[in-house]
Every structure is written in C-alpha cells, then in structure tokens.
Amino acid sequence: MSTGPCVECSAWEELRDEGAETPPVEPIGAWSPVWEAAVAAALARLLVASGGARVAVPAGAVAGVFRPLLDVLLPPGPAMRSLALAGPGLPAATSDIALVPRHPQTGEAWPYGAGVAVPLSAEVWTYLAFHDDRRLIAVSRGRGGNACRDALPPLLPFRPFRPDWDVFLDTLARLPEVREPWLRAIYDRVKDGRCSDPFL
C-alpha cells in the first residue's frame, strides 16, 4: 500500500523494460510460489467482482490459470460477466472485470475506468500480458547440423496449477463482501475442505 509520493518510482510503462516478471514455473518443474500467492489473492477479489455469476475468461494464459478455478468455485450456467487483462502497453479493454497490475513500489492498482479492477502482482501480470512462450530451439537433423524453429518450451509443471490456500482464505476473510451468503458459502466450503479441488 502506498504511504505517500514516491519520488523515484518507476513509471507504469517502465515496468516491462525493468524485467518485472516472474515465470510461472521454476527450473525444478514446480509452480512458482509467487504465482500461487498472487493468483490466490486475485482470485478472492475476482470472486467478489463476479457477484456470484459465471465469468467469461479470454483464451490464452489467463484462461489457463483462472478458468479452472472459476469453473469449480462459481455455479454453472451462461457467463454473465467478462474478464480481460488491462494495463500499460495493452490495447484498451472494455470488459466488466479487468486484471490490472499492482505497482511493485507504491502498491497502487492500475486505474481502470471501464469496469471493476482486480489487482494482480506486477510480476505475474507482466508475464501474462507480454511473455511469449515460444523459443528458438536447436533441432537435430542427423549429421547435417542444426536448424532453428519456433517451438513450445520443454519446461512444464509436474502438477496442475493450484493457488495458495492460506492466501486465498486470508484475502477473502478481509473483504467485507465475504458476509454475503453466496460468498460466505464459498469461503466455508474451501476452508472446511469441501471444495478442495482447485487447492489440493
């Protein structure tokens, strides 16, 4: 959280240039704990923003992380709200809910005027927004040498993504909306282990 003006803070547009991103998977094949915590905190706020209605998640990396979680936690039915990434360097979004970066120095969330902003750690947001998972890798062609081609990186996690259970519950418990019956029911199900699929 910001405590006042930050004289030497980076501008929003500089975050990408400064390498403010964390890959989702560590070299050993485990999911990054930074991602597990950041997504858990954002997921709690995303549920609040959903109002208990199904959320349409755009295809791509955001869907890979958030859609399975929302599918388990929200009731089935047609999507009533839409989700998109919004922030510096991206085209203007007009979705109902936007995942926006939280400034790593000030704690401020990117201002999003078109709908509800859900802040996400800048390290994770920047990766989701800009990282290209293709790599130029060497492909052996027998004894004739090597040739380069685009391909998906070989590094994959050894288990499905799961957000941090404690961070999710702690974040949700601090939000006043948790008193609403539908959201309290989700909180209780997760806490009591009756909705363990996305977390365990």
The full set of domain ranges for the chain reads 29-191
- Report how far residue 147's alpha carbon sits from residue 134's, in angstroms, rounded to the nearest whole number: 16
Residue 147 pLDDT exceeds 90 = no
- Cβ pair 88, 15 in contact under 8 A: yes
pTM, rounded to two decimals: 0.81
Supply the pLDDT for residue 195.
Answer: 62
Supply the pLDDT for residue 16.
Answer: 64
Residue 160 pLDDT exceeds 60 = yes
H/E stretch holding 139 reads strand 135-140
Tell me which of 192 and 194 has the higher pLDDT. Answer: 192
Among candidate residues 62, 60, 49, the one with its CA nearest the CA of residue 109: 49
Supply the pLDDT for residue 148.
Answer: 44
Among candidate residues 130, 138, 142, the one with its CA nearest the CA of residue 154: 138
Residue 134 pLDDT exceeds 50 = no
- Report how far residue 193's alpha carbon sits from residue 200's, in angstroms, rounded to the nearest whole number: 9
DSSP label of 76:
S
- Report how far residue 15's alpha carbon sits from residue 22's, in angstroms, rounded to the nearest whole number: 12
pLDDT single digits (tens) 9-62: 777 667 666 557 788 888 888 889 999 999 999 999 999 999 999 999 988 889
Neighbours of 83 (CB within 10 A): 27
pLDDT single digits (tens) 52-111: 999 999 888 899 899 999 999 998 888 899 999 999 988 888 899 999 999 888 888 988
Supply the pLDDT for residue 143.
Answer: 41
Question: What's the burial of 157, exposed, middle or buried (CB within 10 Å: 0-12/13-18/19+)?
Answer: middle
